[in-house]
Structures are given as structure tokens and as C-alpha cells.
Amino acid sequence: MTTEPALPDAASPHAEDPADASLPDETSDPRHFRSPVSFVRRGSRLQGRRQQAWDELSDRFVIDVPRAEADTSVDPGYVFDAAAEFGRTAPLVVEIGSGLGEAVTHAAEQNPDKNYLAVEVYLPGLAQTLQRIGQKELTNVRVVQANAPEVLTTMLPAGSVDEVWVFFPDPWHKTRHHKRRMVKDEFAELVARVLVPGGIWRLATDWSDYAVQMREVLDASAGFVNLHHGEQAGEDSPLTRVNREGLEKKAPMDDVDTRGGWAPRFEGRTLTSFENKAHQAGRLIFDLTYRKA
């Protein structure tokens, strides 16, 4: 039996940040139109079942994107035609940074009436997603190897997406690397652009200071309304627990989180290996759910 390698540690929010040791503070990738990017280039070698899944299924399920310069870039002239790609019109859910495809394929299996687009830069992750698509015999998932901001800026038509998911994005722990975090003001504008009016943005992270950043960014955005405004505040807040119980080394703010705004765990999100590792390490999960205003 062939053993499939997991995502390398560099992809894990539980390891040091990707390529941390070798990353200059101001690194940007000149091949991408928007920088600095939220990822580092990692191995793209496929083997075993992942290679087999790619060979057998990529023609059908991988969106063939014309590139600008980098192999994860998107030609700004290219526009995704969901009806043509899926062969039907249905609500579209886009998962950004879909990793190994656990969440997106689980949801697609549970909701055959919806279309799912998995956006990921890491080729072995996409191949693993294809493997799951094959195993579950799904027809309602497409995958694209592309830098998410470019997908949101030009590839997806404005007002074409019902839900956007960002689950456990790379945390980029060091302050000097925070600019690489995906969820920031400009990114929120891009998500607002692609969502239908009333569309939903779901986020989850296991790092409290990134959770606070997400809440800051989205609360400050005129484009979004927190569906759980003020909920899980004070003693009920996971942030209060993290601070009080010292569950992470660095406390992001005062002891008691009087603001709250945390969503209940999204029941449509299956327990991925990333989330499971967070539980095992004793970290708490922060869910946020916003509606496009």
C-alpha cells in the first residue's frame, strides 16, 4: 500500500510559520500582482495515489486557469463561468485555502444541491482533494490552484458567490510577518466583492490573536455585519478562557473579552486534521460568521 504524505509541517498552523527561518521581513513574490502573499512556495511533487488521482481526475475537476506570470497566478482577463464549469446553476460555496480538501468534500457530500470551489496553492493538497472527490464520487466540486486574492479580484464575477470559507488560515505568528496574513482590510473588500447580497463569510482559527485580528477587520468593514454580534462575551468568550487559562503563550488582550461576537461552531465544518491537532494541543477554536451588508 502506498503511504500518502500529509501536508508538510510548513503548511500547519501548529508548526512555525511557513519557511519562517529563511523568510526576509519584506519578502514579496514579484510574480504575484498583490504582495506580500500569504503562502510560501512548497514542493509540488505528486506520488502514489495523489499522482493517480491527478492523472485520472484533473481534466474533469481542475479549473484550467490561464496564468499571468506565476503558476499560481490568474490572468486578470479570465472570468470563471460557474454554470458552464458545473453544468448547472446552483448556490456557490468557495473555500479559500482548502488544504487537503477535508472540509470542502465533506460539505459537498452533505449538500449535493450546492456547488463548491476549492481554492488552494499547494498542489499535493489539491491532488488529495481530487482523491476524496473520487472516493466520494462527487460531481459538485471543482478545484483551482491559484492565489486567493487573484481569484477574488478578477476570476470570480462580482456578486456570484453565496458563501466564502476561510478555515484555519496560516497564522504568520511573528509581528513582522503579520502583513502576510490573509484576513486583512483589502482581503475583506475582495470577499465582499464576490459575495451575493446577504452572502455569508465563515472563518475559523485556533490562534486567538488572529481571531482578534479577523474580528477587528470585519467589524471595521462597512461591507459586513456580524451575525453573532456581542455573543459569547465576558465569561462565555473563548478569548477570556485563553487568557485566563494561559492556553497560548501570548495573550492578545486584556483578561476578559467584553466584546464577544464569536459564532457557534459551524456545524457544516467537518473536523479536519488541522482542527484536531489544535484540540490535542489544548487550543480553542474561534468561529466567526458575517453577512454581506
Ligand X SMILES: C[S@@+](CC[C@H](N)C(=O)[O-])C[C@H]1O[C@@H](n2cnc3c(N)ncnc32)[C@H](O)[C@@H]1O
Sign, CA dihedral 252-243-164-122, equals positive
Minimal distance in Å, beta carbon 244 to ligand X?
26
Of the residues 17, 25, 55, 170, which is catalytic?
170
Q: Residue 234: left if φ>0, alpha if ψ -120 to 50, beta else—which one?
A: left
Question: Which x/- pattern over 193-232 shows residues binding ligand X (rule: CB under 6 A)?
Answer: ----------------------------------------
Residue number with CB closer to ligand X (120 or 257): 120
Minimal distance in Å, beta carbon 72 to ligand X?
7
262-265 — which CB contacts under 8 Å span 24+ positions?
262/211, 262/228, 262/231, 262/232, 262/237, 262/238, 262/286, 262/287, 262/288, 263/202, 263/227, 263/228, 263/231, 263/287, 263/288, 263/289, 264/228
> Which one, of 122, 165, 173, lies nearest residue 14 by Cα?
173
CA atoms of 167 and 162, how far apart (whole Å): 16
Residue number with CB closer to ligand X (121 or 195): 121
Member of 33, 80, 116, 168 binding ligand X (CB under 6 A): 168
Find the binding residues for ligand X in span 85-104 (CB under 6 A).
Answer: 97-99, 102
Q: Exposed, middle or buried, 233 (CB in 10 Å: 0-12/13-18/19+)?
A: middle
Question: Which x/- pattern over 262-291 shows residues binding ligand X (rule: CB under 6 A)?
Answer: ----------x-x-----------------
Q: Which residues pair with 174 in a beta bridge?
A: none
Minimal distance in Å, beta carbon 39 to ligand X?
4
What residues have CB less than 8 Å from 56, skipping those under 6 apart?
134
Q: Residue 232: left if φ>0, alpha if ψ -120 to 50, beta else—which one?
A: left
Member of 122, 187, 201, 286 binding ligand X (CB under 6 A): 122
Residue 73 in the binding site for ligand X (CB under 6 A)? no
Residue number with CB closer to ligand X (144 or 242): 144
Mark the segment that binds ligand X (CB under 6 A) among 85-93, 116-124, 131-139, 280-288: 116-124
Residue number with CB closer to ligand X (206 or 257): 206
Mark the segment that binds ligand X (CB under 6 A) among 32-40, 76-84, 184-192, 250-258: 32-40
Helices (H), 62-160: 82-86, 102-110, 123-136, 148-150
Residue 147 in the binding site for ligand X (CB under 6 A)? yes
**236: annotated active-site residue:** no
CA atoms of 272 and 13, how far apart (whole Å): 12
Residue number with CB closer to ligand X (37 or 239): 37
Residue 11 in the binding site for ligand X (CB under 6 A)? yes
Residue 260 in the binding site for ligand X (CB under 6 A)? no
The residues that touch ligand X, with contacts defined as CB under 6 A, are 11, 13, 37-39, 97-99, 102, 119-122, 125, 147-148, 167-170, 182, 272, 274
Residue numbers annotated as active site: 170
